[in-house]
Structure 1
Amino acid sequence: MPLSLKPVDGSFAVCRLAAGSALPEWFRPGPFATVSWTDDELSILCHDSQVPETVQCERGWRCLMLQGPFAFDQTGILLQVLQPLAEAKIGIFALSTFDTDYVLVKEHAFEATLQALVASGLTVGRGYAPDTELSR
């Protein structure tokens, strides 16, 4: 059975706050959000609409969830998605949870992303078919 991906609704922002920052009051966990603290930064991924204009961020990301769960010893799962996107020269932002992986691409590349994934044999969403105008 081919790997299946599910589009996650919404437009997302990837934000960078200073190392040691507390979680900001504007952040509210939603259907999809993540927070990572490191010695170098605090990164937040959340819906675009939550992020104040003054925050350093990269806006306009669309998200695809790999339909897991996947065992930790299962190999090559993310590669099945990243390889066709690399060949199509589509940049990504990837992250993982306990059960699965998520791949984000910029909104302007979303249709090309879906086309590349379907062309590589992956299943995207329910009944997705590439836009025939864009695939010409």
Structure 2
Amino acid sequence: MKRLAIDLQPGEYAVARLDPGGQVPVLDAVDGLVSITRTATETSVICPAGRVPEGARVEAGWRLLTVRGPLAFTLTGIIAALASELASAGVALFSVSTFDTDHVLVKEGELERAVQALRAAGHEVSTANA
């Protein structure tokens, strides 16, 4: 795996679940990542902790690591490598990909261990703006 540049994003994130069939929330004017995924069985929302939709079941306390992109669609193994490196350090993750890049969320309590593991694997992890 080539060396990746990864940025720790500021603030706490939440992963939330809404019941299926409801209206998909609109989160306007939000700084940071917002991802809404709807299936037949649920609507999942990843967003800054202070912007969780009302009535959602929430798993809070996540921090966001973003691979500096854009990444070509032909690149392979990015999430697999990050997941393997974090798993070896005992760090659970939640991942989401966008058109331009990949994002990994780790629990706040595991952040330091995650950053150390990624750096030990040869990746550049910037925490300057977080």
Bigger Cα Rg: 1
- Judge conservation of contact 2:8–2:127 (CA < 8 Å) in 1: no
Residue 22 (structure 2) pairs with residue 6 (structure 1): no
Q: Secondary structure at 1:63's aligned position in 2?
A: strand
Deviates more, 1:14-23 or 1:73-82: 73-82
Q: Secondary structure at 1:9's aligned position in 2?
A: coil
Q: Give the AA of the match of 2:3.
A: P
TM-score by length of 2: 0.88
Partner of 2:110: 109
- Structure 2 gap ranges (5+): none
Give the CA RMSD over aligned residues: 1.9
| 1:86-105 map, 5 Å | 86-105=87-106
Quote how far apart the aligned CAs of 1:73 are. Answer: 1.6
Q: How far does the alpha carbon of each residue in 1:7-66 deviate from its partner, in whole angstroms, 9 at most, with x for none?
A: 1111011010011111247x4452211111111101111111123685311000000001
Partner of 1:33: 34
Structure with higher RCO (Cα < 8 A, 6+ apart): 2
Deviates more, 1:61-70 or 1:76-85: 76-85
Q: Give the AA of the match of 1:39.
A: A
Length, aligned pairs only: 126
Name the % identity: 39
Q: How far does the alpha carbon of each residue in 1:91-129 deviate from its partner, in whole angstroms, 9 at most, with x for none?
A: 0000000111000000000011000100111100167xx
- Judge conservation of contact 1:28–1:50 (CA < 8 Å) in 2: no
- Structure 1 gap ranges (5+): 128-136
- Judge conservation of contact 1:91–1:105 (CA < 8 Å) in 2: yes
TM-score by length of 1: 0.84
- Judge conservation of contact 1:3–1:122 (CA < 8 Å) in 2: yes
